[in-house]
Every structure is written in structure tokens, then in C-alpha cells.
């Protein structure tokens, strides 16, 4: 009989990552389901998911800045690229594309073709109006607020609602200048 060959470290690591990702997806689904039960109104669930995301975002930015080595972005266009290519990759395992810029460079769309949050998800008819992934809009809003950018983040397209992609509109409302924390006198 052939000996049982140990799996390589890489294979084990990939497996652990996949299991973690699935656990995360299923846990998120369980949270949404519980909110639907507790709050009853889909609009309230949308608000709660966004608020949860915001609370995550204001903390996650520290980890993002520490791990990514990203330095200050020159403008909002660079910030959007960083979110799409580095932030999404780091926390969601997929990257997004950035499109639909407005003329003054303060509003764009982040398009996700692959969205691990919705693996295994099917929404019943009673959930029409639910923005299942609303935690993501809150995360972006919270994270950007911590680096002095007030934004409005809204869903434009959602595959769970029958659209052909996931599209988030990110609008920069205000860039708060950072204050020097010490008085010069
Ligand atoms: C700067 O200070 O100019 C850099 C700003 C970088 C902001 C990056 C925010 C990362 C947000 C990650 C979102 C992940 C969603 C899953």
C-alpha cells in the first residue's frame, strides 16, 4: 500500500484560507438572517448592516495602513484605486475595477465581478429591497472617514437583485484638512 503522503504546506494553507473564507461568508449570512428576524423591516436591516460596516471600517483602516504600506494618496482617484486593488484584495480576497468617473474626479464606481459575500446566497421574495452586502458600503465610508474623507457610498447594481454586476458608487463629499496637533507658539 502506498504511504499516505503529507500535503505540502502551501496546499494546507490554501485549504485553511478557503475554509476561513467560507466560514466568514456563512457567518455573515447568519448575521443578515438574524437581523431580518429581529428588525423585520428590510430598510432597517440595510441601515444596520451599513452601521456595522462603518464600525468595522473605522477600525480596519489601521490594519490596512499597517499591512499595506500604502502612503498618502495624491487625490481621490488614487484613493479609489487603492481601495479597489489593495483594500478589497486584502479583506475580501478579490479586487474591483474603478470606472464611471465624474468630471471633477470626486465620484466613481467600484465594480466587483466576484463577490465572496454572496456565495451560497439566494434571497427569497420577501427580501426585495434588501441590500445584502450593505456592510461593504459602511466599511468603505468608515475607513475613508478615518483618513479625512467624508463619503457617500451607495449600491448601483446588485446581482442578488438581478443586475449583471456589483457596483458601488463612491462620492467624495468633503475632504477634511488634517490639523497639526500642536500649537506653534
Ligand atoms: C490615504 O491616506 O490617502 C490612503 C487612503 C487609503 C484608504 C484605503 C481604504 C481601504 C478600505 C478597504 C475597504 C475594504 C472593503 C472590503
Ligand 1 residue neighbourhood (C-beta within 6 Å) = 61, 64, 70, 72-73, 79, 82-83, 87-88, 91-92, 136, 139-140, 143, 147
Q: How confident is the model at residue 20 (pLDDT cuts 50, 70, 90)?
A: confident
Is position 180 within any domain? no
Is position 99 within any domain? yes
* CATH code, domain with 118: 3.30.1380.20
Is position 183 within any domain? no
Q: 95: helix, coil or strand?
A: coil
Per-residue pLDDT of 22-68, as tens digits, reads 899 999 999 999 999 999 899 999 999 999 999 999 999 999 999 99
pTM: 0.88
Ligand 1 centre to CA of 96 (Å) is 13
Distances (CA, A) of 180 to 58, 107, 177, 183: 21, 28, 10, 8
Count up the domains in the chain and report the number.
1
Is position 18 within any domain? yes
Higher pLDDT: 124 or 178? It is 124
Is position 181 within any domain? no
| Domain encompassing residue 166 | 10-175
Is position 54 within any domain? yes
- At 13 the pLDDT is 62
Ligand 1 centre to CA of 57 (Å) is 9
ipTM over 0.90: yes
Ligand 1 centre to CA of 162 (Å) is 28
Amino acid at each position: 500500500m502506498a504511504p499516505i503522503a503529507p500535503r505540502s504546506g502551501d496546499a494546507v494553507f490554501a485549504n485553511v484560507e478557503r475554509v476561513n473564507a467560507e466560514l466568514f461568508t456563512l457567518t455573515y449570512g447568519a448575521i443578515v438572517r438574524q437581523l431580518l428576524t429581529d428588525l423585520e423591516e428590510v430598510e432597517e436591516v440595510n441601515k444596520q448592516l451599513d452601521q456595522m460596516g462603518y464600525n468595522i471600517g473605522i477600525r480596519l483602516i489601521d490594519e490596512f495602513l499597517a499591512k499595506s504600506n500604502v502612503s498618502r494618496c495624491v487625490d481621490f482617484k488614487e484613493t479609489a484605486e487603492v481601495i479597489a486593488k489593495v483594500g478589497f484584495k486584502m479583506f475580501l480576497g478579490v479586487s474591483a475595477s474603478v470606472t464611471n468617473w465624474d468630471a471633477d474626479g470626486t465620484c466613481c464606481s467600484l465594480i466587483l465581478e466576484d463577490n465572496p459575500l454572496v456565495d451560497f446566497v439566494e434571497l427569497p421574495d420577501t427580501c426585495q429591497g434588501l441590500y445584502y452586502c450593505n456592510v461593504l458600503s459602511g466599511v468603505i465610508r468608515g475607513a475613508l472617514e478615518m483618513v479625512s474623507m467624508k463619503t457617500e457610498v451607495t449600491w448601483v447594481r446588485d446581482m442578488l437583485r438581478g443586475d449583471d454586476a456589483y457596483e458601488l458608487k463612491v462620492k467624495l463629499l468633503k475632504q477634511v484638512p488634517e490639523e497639526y496637533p500642536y500649537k506653534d507658539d
